[in-house]
Amino acid sequence: MEIWINPACSKCRSALTLLDAEGADYTVRRYLEDVPAPDEIRAVLDRLGLEPWDITRTQEPAAKELGLKEWARDAAGRDRWIEALAAHPKLIQRPIITADDGTAVVARSEEAVRDALGRG
């Protein structure tokens, strides 16, 4: 499994602590440095079963500068959102764990991390 983190994020650090405590085998991706391409974001969204606006941190300064709250949340606007996430990775909700079974979770709670662990 892989976990996308921002080391400055307390929820990311908590998720890593839990993964370590459970002896999980995982790799860390510091997505602010190793920025996911639009196709990688699409793949993670498919695994999550979510849309790009569902994983967007709309309170970030970049979101306000871009005016994301006014953007259409529909199929026609989906690529625009994905391109914004790729261009401004700080907008991506974190942490995201991609499980070995092909699914993914936004692991902002202990329950979500445990859910990912249960998926292998």
**Quick count: other Cβ atoms within 10 Å of Cβ 22?**
11
List residues bridging with 96 in a β-sheet: 4, 106
Instruction: Find the Cα–Cα–Cα–Cα dihedral 19, 13, 9, 33, rounded to 10°.
Output: -70
Q: Determine the longest span between alpha carbons in the chain, in angstroms.
A: 43
Active site residue 12: no
Catalytic residue among 2, 9, 28, 103: 9
**7 DSSP 8-state letter:** T
Beta bridge partners of 98: 2, 104
Number of residues that make up the chain: 120
State the catalytic residues. Answer: 9
